[in-house]
């Protein structure tokens, strides 16, 4: 079997020749160690500076080539591909600090170079419902945003399961609006603001879901998180009221477009997991065993309803040992691999600080313990 066939078997709750594996993302430091060359792929501040220096086309070419090379080097069965900044000219913004700047609308963003390529808006709590995008405004996906997707599909589409990452999720759009705390407060004080924001940004995600699947992806993943390590950010009732209908629309759009829908949300999601699975998602990524999301318990309760993407704690790959990484993979496979429905992956991404030796040990363990039928001893 090839990688695509293995993941399709897992999604269908069938046993292939072995448990499939892959990752959502990999930090550029690991890429450069693996491939022995410099890269702008997922290169944090270096990549952002390159974009502002009008090197967007170099970034686009590097993303496609690097994802293909890494997927082949690590023998992944699935690979996730993001969209890109659309083609055009980019210039340095007005900087307000070493890692802070103003966007085109004058809103300030702060960047944390240690944790990945993440920029967040500062204080935007003055936003009103009239400042939100028009939910009925047509969303046009520029073809240049899909350049890496088309490259990866052309190179790996026959052999690998290709997941497109939508650049907007929309089901919990706090980053695009007023920040997490204020957005959650407005679920109580201004529910119409929340409904309109979710509608507007989810509509944008639907356009990307259609475009990614039309470009040849097998599935689409969205990435808004709904929980921290202690539990969901909102109660189950508010999840059902505001979030669940939006996810269901995404699932229906993906299925109508001939693809699968995989939801990423990490944290402790036990309190909302019934409602999340009820949306019809095909797979769930973001499983963190070390905070109580045990794959044995998950398999027992939901094993016939959903495909799990997970098994490896990110922390283990950063501060653990190769033996600990192997043990986590072995446990995941023995607890949740039988009958299909499992894809081995980290709970998030191969983030900054991951020790390459630990991840390579996890890959070796997937090969060693993941052959069907699973040895449960």
Strand order in the sheet with 108-111: 94-97, 100-102, 108-111, 119-121
Alpha-carbon gap, residue 326 to 316, rounded angstroms: 10
| Domain boundary assignment for the chain | 3-88+128-307
Residues 6+ apart with CB under 8 A from 153: 162, 215, 216, 217
Residues 6+ apart with CB under 8 A from 40: 28, 46, 47, 50, 55, 58, 59, 62, 63
pLDDT digits 0-9 by tens, 95-141: 999 999 998 888 899 998 877 778 888 888 889 999 999 999 999 99
pLDDT digits 0-9 by tens, 54-67: 999 999 999 999 99
Q: Determine the pLDDT at residue 377.
A: 66
pLDDT < 50: residue spans in the chain: none
Residues 6+ apart with CB under 8 A from 275: 236, 239, 240, 244
Helices within 239-294 (DSSP H only): 244-256, 270-277
The CA R_g of the chain, rounded to the nearest whole Å, is 20
The CATH number given to 3-88+128-307 is 3.20.20.210
Length of the chain: 377
Q: Residue 184's CB: how many other CB atoms inside 10 A? A: 17
Alpha-carbon gap, residue 253 to 214, rounded angstroms: 12
Ramachandran angles phi, psi of 292, nearest 5°? 105, 0
Residues 6+ apart with CB under 8 A from 301: none
Task: Find out whether 49 and 17 touch, Cβ atoms under 8 Å.
Answer: no
pTM recorded for the entire structure: 0.97
Alpha-carbon gap, residue 53 to 38, rounded angstroms: 17
Q: Determine the pLDDT at residue 112.
A: 87
Q: Determine the pLDDT at residue 183.
A: 97
């Amino acid at each position: 079997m090839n990688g695509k066939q293995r993941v399709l078997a897992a999604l269908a709750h069938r046993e292939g020749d072995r448990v499939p594996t892959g990752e959502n993302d990999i930090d550029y430091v690991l890429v450069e160690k693996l491939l022995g060359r410099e890269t702008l792929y997922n290169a944090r501040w270096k990549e952002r500076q390159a974009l502002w220096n009008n090197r967007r086309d170099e970034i686009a070419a590097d993303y496609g080539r690097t994802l293909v090379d890494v997927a082949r080097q690590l023998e992944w069965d699935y690979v996730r591909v993001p969209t890109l900044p659309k083609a055009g000219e980019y210039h340095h913004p007005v900087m307000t600090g070493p890692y802070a700047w103003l966007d085109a609308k004058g809103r300030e963003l702060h960047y944390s170079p240690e944790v990945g390529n993440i920029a967040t808006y500062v204080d935007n709590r003055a936003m009103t419902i009239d400042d939100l995008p028009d939910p009925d405004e047509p969303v046009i996906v520029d073809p240049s945003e899909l350049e890496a997707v088309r490259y990866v599909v052309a190179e790996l589409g026959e052999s690998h399961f290709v997941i497109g990452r939508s650049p907007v999720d929309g089901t919990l759009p706090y980053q695009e609006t007023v920040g997490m705390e204020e957005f959650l407060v407005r679920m109580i004080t201004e529910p119409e603001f929340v409904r309109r924001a979710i509608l507007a940004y989810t509509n944008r995600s639907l356009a990307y879901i259609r475009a990614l699947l039309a470009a040849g992806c097998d599935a689409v993943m969205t990435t808004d998180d709904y929980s921290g390590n202690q539990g969901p950010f909102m109660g189950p009732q508010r999840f059902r009221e505001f979030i669940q209908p939006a996810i269901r629309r995404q699932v229906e759009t993906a299925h109508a477009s001939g693809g699968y829908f995989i939801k990423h949300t990490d944290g402790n999601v036990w309190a909302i997991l019934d409602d999340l699975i009820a949306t019809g998602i095909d797979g769930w990524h973001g499983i963190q065993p070390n905070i109580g999301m045990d794959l044995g318990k998950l398999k027992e309760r939901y094993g016939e309803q959903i495909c799990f993407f997970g098994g490896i704690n990110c922390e283990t790959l950063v501060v653990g040992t190769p033996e600990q990484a192997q043990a986590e993979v072995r446990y995941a496979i023995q607890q949740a691999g039988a009958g299909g429905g499992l894809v081995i992956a980290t709970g998030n991404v191969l983030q900054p600080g991951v020790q390459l030796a630990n991840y390579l040990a996890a890959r070796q363990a997937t090969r060693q313990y993941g052959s069907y039928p699973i040895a449960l001893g």
